[in-house]
Amino acid sequence: MEPKKLVTIEEMEAATERLLETGALVGADSWQQRVKNQTPHCKFGEEGICCRICSMGPCRITPKAPRGICGCDVHGIVARNFLRFTAGGSATHSDHGREICHTLHETREGGNYTVKDPEKLIRIATEWDIPTEGRDIYDLAHEVSETALLEYGKPFGTQRFLKRAPKERQEVWEREGIAPRAIDREVSQALHMTHMGCSSLPEALLKQSLRCGLSDGWGGSMMGTEFSDVLFGTPKPLDTTANLGVMDKDMVNIIVHGHDPSLSEMVVFYAQDPEMIALAKSVGAKGINVAGVCCTSNEVAMRHGIPMAGNFLQQENVVLTGACEAIVVDVQCIFPALGPLSKCFHTKFITTSNIARMPDSEFIQFSPENAGENAKAIVKMAVENFKNRKPELVYIPDIKETATVGYSVEAIEKTLDTVTNPFVDVTGTMKPLVECVESGVLRGAVAMVGCNNPRVRADYAHIELMKKLLKNDIILVLSGCSAQAAAKAGLMSKDAKELCGAGLKRVCELADIPPVLHMGSCVDISRMMILASRIAEDWGIDIPQIPLVGCAPEWMSEKAVSIGNYVVATGIDTFLGVSPQASGSSQVWDMLTGAGDNGYKQWVGANFTVETDVEKLGDLMIQRIEEKRAALGI
């Protein structure tokens, strides 16, 4: 069979160019232009050698000025900046998780939010030694959410979910003093350590980066993921569509963007309300079309099949189509540019969270208590805005791909069960997957995650790396904007098996899966940690031994650095296509990349590799996977 014809990067870029022409007509600014304005970037910032932590400075390190005014050297400055970056990411992810815990606390029979996966709630309660027998599910939800909220500030002990990791990992974290305590404490301590006159020893600062990252991945993010599943349902495979062609010129288009599913779930619900659909028809539209951008898109795609309009660097494109009645945002990864941009069109830019307030937006404060009422008001505002569209500005690129999404760990387990024995409901095991890797049918796996970054050609690294890995019989698990890159290019369709090597193709046929598995949003990288732990346990090895690596080829955010830290701390070698702002210190760089004899590799058995050449980055990942295979004797 002929390989499936995929949407190419060039076609996506041509669509963007056409949209920018519309932008030029209405005097819109664009990230493409702003990148030009900001280039070249500040070298001191790029290398992490500028210190702005006290007001004796800023201090910048040069050969002539090798120490800041306080006497801190370049290694201390770079490590402090790196830890602050990590703390920003950990705080952000974890606060998302905290919001979800609060939403869980608001659940009640017939309320705005209910418990959709009671089994999962009971499982977590049991894991946390909370009595479940004969209890009302909402009573249980409230106790579990209170216990979860205490994970943020408890005075003693470490994160409850650490026990999910294999014993060896837990011992490594204890040995290295990086087992995370209360989440807020780790963020707070990171800021304390980096305050003027505290730590300047790179080793201490980097160990706190690992601990702070772990409090995100095995704390805040994991709770965000688990309780989102309890609230909105644990994802199962379902079909959707992706790329800008999912917008519909005959419908009211509402774009949901951000991260917290508490908002988008409600918008999706009210967009299906017969009263709202009738209203849409009364203003001349055929109906209401909700589509997503960034991780909110992942959340609603994997639970409702809501189409994915695009990822991070396409957020302006959805407005540039001229067919976006409202772009509704919650938190994180939202360009402030959307305010002025939406003013060039009829689009309503609706902010909903006190955490993300922006100029030129309409603010409708959203909370679990008023969720239904406010989601309905948002949908109504979008519908009533349809009549303000300027038809001469409407252009929706005709590019759209199909995708199968929603591979939670539970869904992967279920899929593997079907392969093992279609007639018996066996308890979940990762053994069939392990056997495929042991036998060489699959060479290994890559967990690809992260954003877009204008420093690299948008989506190019994601898509080219995926194609290369598939050809080499390496299965992919994806989340965040990387997942949307794959979906937009057709790599999450089951037809993409034609791009795979013979082994992976056979696995896809047997299991009826696409070769690129969608695991969700950026908080859902916690799912990958559970998956890796389950594989290690079922295989009887430690995580660093698995022929598995992580990759963030186009990362850009503080969250990505926090993620990188917890993925590496979990024992997964991680490959970056964009350099962290840490190259100014040879000591820090060596500790992060495993070049020295004291650093991440020695502490946790994994490290970062940085390579900005996409082809070489792919080769390095394949090489590392093969090295791990050789070490296992397979």
- Cβ of residue 450: shortest distance to ligand MSK, in angstroms? 5
Are 527 and 517 in contact, with CB atoms under 8 Å apart? no
The answer to whether residue 522 forms part of the interface with ligand MSK (CB under 6 A) is: yes
- Cβ of residue 294: shortest distance to ligand MSK, in angstroms? 4
- Cβ of residue 595: shortest distance to ligand MSK, in angstroms? 27
Interface with ligand MSK (CB under 6 A), residue from 94, 215, 262, 521: 521
Compare residues 81 and 297 and give the one whose CB is closer to ligand MSK: 297
Are 299 and 261 in contact, with CB atoms under 8 Å apart? yes
- Cβ of residue 104: shortest distance to ligand MSK, in angstroms? 21
| Residue 527 parent element (H or E) | helix 525-539
Between CA 7 and CA 456 the distance in angstroms is: 19
| 32-61 residues near ligand MSK, rule: CB under 6 A | none
Compare residues 309 and 433 and give the one whose CB is closer to ligand MSK: 309
Are 246 and 400 in contact, with CB atoms under 8 Å apart? yes
**H helical segments located in 440-581:** 460-471, 480-488, 502-511, 525-539, 558-569
Compare residues 469 and 483 and give the one whose CB is closer to ligand MSK: 483
Q: How many helices (H) and strands (E) does the chain have?
A: 26, 16
Are 486 and 443 in contact, with CB atoms under 8 Å apart? no
Interface with ligand MSK (CB under 6 A), residue from 19, 256, 308, 333: 333
- DSSP state for residue 219 in the 8-state scheme: I
Compare residues 241 and 521 and give the one whose CB is closer to ligand MSK: 521
The amino acid present at 121, given as its one-letter code, is: L
Q: How many C-beta atoms lie closer than 10 Å to residue 251's C-beta? A: 18
Residue appearing with tokens 């859902």 = 524
Q: How many residues bind ligand MSK (CB under 6 A)?
A: 14
What is the contact mask toward ligand MSK in residues 541 to 580, using x (rule: CB under 6 A)? Answer: ----------------x-x---------------------
Query: Could you tell me what percentage of the chain is helix, strand and coil, using 3-state DSSP and rounding each to the nearest 5?
Result: 50, 10, 35
Compare residues 50 and 563 and give the one whose CB is closer to ligand MSK: 563
Between CA 29 and CA 316 the distance in angstroms is: 10
What is the contact mask toward ligand MSK in residues 241 to 270, using x (rule: CB under 6 A)? Answer: ------------------x-----------
Compare residues 141 and 560 and give the one whose CB is closer to ligand MSK: 560
E strands in 396-470: 401-405, 444-448
Tallying the residues shown for the chain, one arrives at 634
What is the contact mask toward ligand MSK in residues 275 to 294, using x (rule: CB under 6 A)? Answer: -------------------x
Compare residues 75 and 559 and give the one whose CB is closer to ligand MSK: 559
Are 246 and 305 in contact, with CB atoms under 8 Å apart? no
- Cβ of residue 52: shortest distance to ligand MSK, in angstroms? 23
- Cβ of residue 210: shortest distance to ligand MSK, in angstroms? 20
Compare residues 294 and 489 and give the one whose CB is closer to ligand MSK: 294
- Cβ of residue 201: shortest distance to ligand MSK, in angstroms? 30
Give just the sign of the alpha carbon dihedral 320, 40, 565, 570.
Answer: positive
- Cβ of residue 503: shortest distance to ligand MSK, in angstroms? 29
Compare residues 219 and 480 and give the one whose CB is closer to ligand MSK: 480
Compare residues 442 and 458 and give the one whose CB is closer to ligand MSK: 458
Compare residues 179 and 486 and give the one whose CB is closer to ligand MSK: 486
- DSSP state for residue 5 in the 8-state scheme: P
- DSSP state for residue 427 in the 8-state scheme: P
Compare residues 481 and 492 and give the one whose CB is closer to ligand MSK: 481
Between CA 286 and CA 280 the distance in angstroms is: 7
Interface with ligand MSK (CB under 6 A), residue from 7, 53, 214, 295: 295
| 308-327 residues near ligand MSK, rule: CB under 6 A | 312
Are 552 and 206 in contact, with CB atoms under 8 Å apart? no
Between CA 106 and CA 116 the distance in angstroms is: 13
The amino acid present at 12, given as its one-letter code, is: M
- The closest of 109, 113, 369 to 228, measured between CA atoms, is 113
Compare residues 294 and 543 and give the one whose CB is closer to ligand MSK: 294
| Residue 291 parent element (H or E) | strand 288-293
- Cβ of residue 258: shortest distance to ligand MSK, in angstroms? 8
Residue appearing with tokens 């998780």 = 97
Q: How many C-beta atoms lie closer than 10 Å to residue 57's C-beta? A: 16
Between CA 87 and CA 164 the distance in angstroms is: 23
- Cβ of residue 49: shortest distance to ligand MSK, in angstroms? 25
| Residue 51 parent element (H or E) | strand 50-51
- Cβ of residue 88: shortest distance to ligand MSK, in angstroms? 12
- Cβ of residue 89: shortest distance to ligand MSK, in angstroms? 9
| 461-520 residues near ligand MSK, rule: CB under 6 A | 480-481
- Cβ of residue 381: shortest distance to ligand MSK, in angstroms? 24
Half-sphere exposure of 152 (CA within 13 A, CB side): 21
Give the residues lining the site for ligand MSK (CB under 6 A). 259, 294-295, 312, 332-333, 450-451, 480-481, 521-522, 557, 559
